[in-house]
Structure 1
Amino acid sequence: MDKANFSSAYRKELRTKIREVAMQHFLAKGIRAVKMDDIANALSISKRTLYELYDNKEDLLLEVLKEAEESRHNRISAFAEQVDNNVMEIIFELYRMHAEAYDNVNPLFYQELKKYPKVTNYLDEKDTVDENLTQAFFNLGIEQGYFRKEIDFAIVAKMMRECVRYAIYNTDFTTVKFDYLFTNVIFLFFRGFCTDKGIEAVNRMCDK
């Protein structure tokens, strides 16, 4: 490997390590409490080296969020293939994914996301994309006989998202476990738009 290629490979690997360490720090402490110095020190690199790769903490945070979203997307896509796109299986896998993440995160992380304009814009854009994906998902659930076709899923999806977002961003809910949120908020919507076949599938999966 020539010097230029080695330098490029090293920088790419270092960027990956920086994102991994940054994510660990952000999730554990919240965003504002983490300094670029903390990340540099954890990796035993100079702050100058860190700033050569990431101009500021917000740019780093944005890259961390995009990478995490890509990882979640890849995981659920692979799972969907394994279960032949069964919407009920996918929903419970999504629940497991979010439960794993939510209960191990400092609530400050979610509450402080909205303080960063680039991150807010990214999340708003992602919401728009998610709305289209959610509608396609609901349509698939109708085809499979699990969801009621007379429901306005655009409204349901928006209400579910806003309820969860309120719980995540509101300090009154900082001690609430994801299981509790799912049972008392999401699960109520979920059972409401299921057909009898869908409710039977829910009951079976809850009994596992």
Structure 2
Amino acid sequence: MTYLFDPLCGWCYGATPMLDRLSAGGVRVELLPTGLFSGAGARPMDEGFAAHAWANDQRIERLTGQKFTQAYQHNVLNVRGTLLDSHAATLGISAAGLEDSSRRLFALKTIQRARYVDGLDIVTIEGIAEVLAAAGMRDAGDLLKAPTEGLMTAHRELVGRGRALFQRLHADGVPALAVIRNDAPRLIGSNALFGSFDNLVAHIAA
């Protein structure tokens, strides 16, 4: 399985419990970031976007049980002059998984919790480095603050693979899940990530 995501995507946060269940069931899930909210995709956190995001977040919480706290609303959505920019968070996930790709999921969950539960605006390198260090990934945090050419090359390759697969699947957004057999990817509709686990398994096995 391959999972396409952006760390600042609320729907991706909502899908995280399904990733946990797949991993717990022995399914190998490779995480590939698409850079949706980085570079040209970054945008100001203005009042209109904040209201739109909060409305969506409440829907995600009702559907999945994932918590979006008042701390997140007050300290992230309601602070003007900041950007919705996932570059630092995505680079942090690349750093965490540089030597062990299985750490990407833990890093993603750590960053999501920092934002949506703890209300930390994790759009800076310094902020992500602190979050990773506090979660026991100080090596990734230190690497993030002093990135090597090896990290930057691996990061560009990871995001490039994510974007290429996203385009190949003709996906219309993230999260997106793909089954890849014999180098032929098949897109599983994102709705399957927000229903029953048995329904998701049936989609994977189809």
TM-score (norm 2): 0.26
Q: Which has the higher strand share?
A: 2
User: RCO (CA 8 Å, sep 6+): is it higher in 1 or 2?
Assistant: 2
TM-score (norm 1): 0.25
Specify the structure having the higher radius of gyration (Cα): 1
Q: Which has the higher helix share?
A: 1
